[in-house]
Amino acid sequence: MTVLLAPMEGLLDFVLRDILTRVGGIDRCVSEFIRITDQLLPERVFIRIVPELLDGSCTPAGVPVRAQLLGSDPVCMAENAARLAEMGSAGIDLNFGCPAKIVNRHGGGAALLQDPECVGRIVAAVRRAVPVEVPVSAKMRLGFHDDALAEDCALAIDEAGASELVVHARTKADGYRPPAYWDRIADIRQRVALPVVANGEIWTLADAERCREVSGCDMLMIGRGAVADPGLGWAIQRSRSAGPAAPLPWSVMLPHIAAFWALVCSRLDARSRAGRLKQWLNFLRRRFPEAETAYQALKTVNDPALIDDWLSRQLLASENLPASCAAA
């Protein structure tokens, strides 16, 4: 089983990639999209979004990060992909799935799925622009208004030379509403030769097993599920070889939350720091009852010193618990 960490604009940035790959169970990450319009971007823009480029295109835990490009002009996409390849990106990923209205209005993301030929031209241009050893992958939804062109888009991506395809099993119109239509991924797999990765609505180990069974994919991409349960990737990996694993305990999560907060304070703008911690706690409370308590305690707190104090007290209390309680 291969587990990839999904790109999520405004959530899964380099800070959270760092922490989640420390927990383990992630084989590769894809960055948030880098918007390409009508120019060759300077290196500093790529580094701002994918600072891992300065460290061999890997997170501090050693997990590769593939930079993702979003745009509709094949020539400009190719030029920027070539620059990323020169900078040592672990690969180039192409976004054909973003459902954001502002992106779709400008012909990017999921809007491109209405024109399979254009999708193919973009992939082919990027594939020609980068060295053969640099992987070129793509991420698509099932379609824009509906899934009528899903197979056509997947075939266009395959025939244009992509090395891997991630399918988010919903249309743009579906947004993020459940369910994800994993059976449609199976349909796509029957039509293409390249490896297919299943994505969408994988929150638990049971979801992962069901997705694998329905889609036929041994490669999964997890996003919100990994944010809510950082041990999910590890549990998926272990289940294939050693059976179900014990859930990640809160006592293990607390040091990761403290490390996340330290990174947020050192790397991000002061105005967004408290919000980023609350954003993650909001996801974590889906899996951890203790995260609900933490979220309620901090939801009106914006002073970093008060957050530092709260985290210090939580860590101290966790360290003082008997071993049997801490592991419970």
Task: Return the percentage of the chain with pLDDT > 70, whole number.
Answer: 96
| Cα gap 129→242, rounded to integer Å | 42
Q: What is the pLDDT at residue 240?
A: 74
Q: So what CATH class is 250-326?
A: mainly alpha
Read off the pLDDT of each residue in 201-209 and give the average, rounded to a whole number: 97
pLDDT tens digits, one per residue of 80-113 = 999 999 999 999 999 999 988 888 888 899 999 9
Q: Could you identify the residue written with the tokens 């999209």?
A: 33
Catalytic residues: 98
Name the CATH superfamily for 2-242: Aldolase class I (3.20.20.70)
pLDDT band for 324, please (50, 70, 90 cuts): very low
pLDDT tens digits, one per residue of 240-298 = 776 666 778 999 999 999 999 999 999 998 889 999 999 999 999 999 999 999 999 99
| Cα gap 326→328, rounded to integer Å | 6
Where along the chain do its domains lie?
2-242, 250-326
